[in-house]
Amino acid sequence: MDLCVLHWVLRFTFFNFMAEKRIALVTGSTRGIGKGIALKLAREGIIPVLNYRSDEASARLALEEVTGFAPEARAIQADVSKSEEARYLVEEVIKAFGHLDILVNNAGPYLIRSLFESSDEEWHRMIDGNLSSAFYCTKYALRSMRPRQSGHIINIGALNAEVPMAIGVFEAPAYYIAKAGMMMMTKYLARSEGKYQIRVNAINPGFIETEEYAHFKEENKEKWKKLIPLGYLGTPNDIAELVSFLISDKARYITGAIIHVHGGMWV
């Protein structure tokens, strides 16, 4: 067989195979909640595409774990706070797999600083890293989802996205304000994209024990646990399990929901 013909036969076979697979893009997914979500999806037969901004070492380690369940998974470097890089990321996913079924907007920096003390640069870093990044990725992902008349978008917010300065939480207003914007975007998209059978939901996590919490003293963790009625911190898998449910047929009538996962800390 001619090599050119063989190439196109293999390519056609590959895309036919991929058409039966669900493809998920999880931004900021080389550690913490994002990594937990990617692993959960991989275990369920979904092919996750990991995304990282600059930490290539963490990306390699995370990808090794994920490919143990989804060999086709890959990691793509892109700073999603920039429109052109978010576009590149989504287009690379579609180029590789032919379509995109699930977008999890998880990426986002965090800054402990009062609003009065925050510089203009810090403000824009929080807004661009958390809110603008979700806007960019969503805009480009919809180009694949709308024609297919299906899709899922999950926005990962924060406990303080709806109530500022919850008891025991660090003062990080620029971050909270950006996450609050994601909640309004979730509600808007649920209404605007419903006619395309695209469901959009948000998750607001409370204290989730990730690598970021490792440097805190145990006495601080014990203090936080006392603020939580259930008495313990959550894990990335607690968020991942909810994502898994929201993108399943069991949640077929759920869109525009903002779900809190905080052990009862804010009730």
Q: What is the pLDDT of residues 19-37, one digit of tens each?
A: 679 999 999 999 999 999 9
pLDDT, tens digit, 9 for 90 and up, residues 186-213: 999 999 999 999 999 999 999 999 887 7
Listed by start position, the domains of the chain span 20-259
> Who's near 232: CB < 8 A, 6+ residues apart?
225, 263
Contact status, residue 69 vs residue 39, Cβ threshold 8 Å: yes
**Fold annotation for 20-259:** Rossmann fold (3.40.50)
pLDDT at 100: 99
SS3 state of residue 23 = strand
| More confident call, 135 vs 14 | 135
Whole-number Å distance between alpha carbons of 108 and 167: 22
Catalytic-residue membership of 196: no
Helix (H) or strand (E) holding 142, with range, is helix 133-148
Tokens 């067989």 identify what position? Answer: 1
> Who's near 2: CB < 8 A, 6+ residues apart?
none
pLDDT, tens digit, 9 for 90 and up, residues 115-142: 899 999 999 999 999 999 999 999 999 9
Contact status, residue 125 vs residue 172, Cβ threshold 8 Å: no
Given 175, 176, 196, 232, the catalytic residue:
175
> Who's near 139: CB < 8 A, 6+ residues apart?
none
Whole-number Å distance between alpha carbons of 79 and 89: 9
Residue 59 pLDDT > 70, yes or no?
Answer: yes
Whole-number Å distance between alpha carbons of 228 and 206: 9
pLDDT, tens digit, 9 for 90 and up, residues 207-239: 999 887 776 777 777 888 888 999 999 999 999
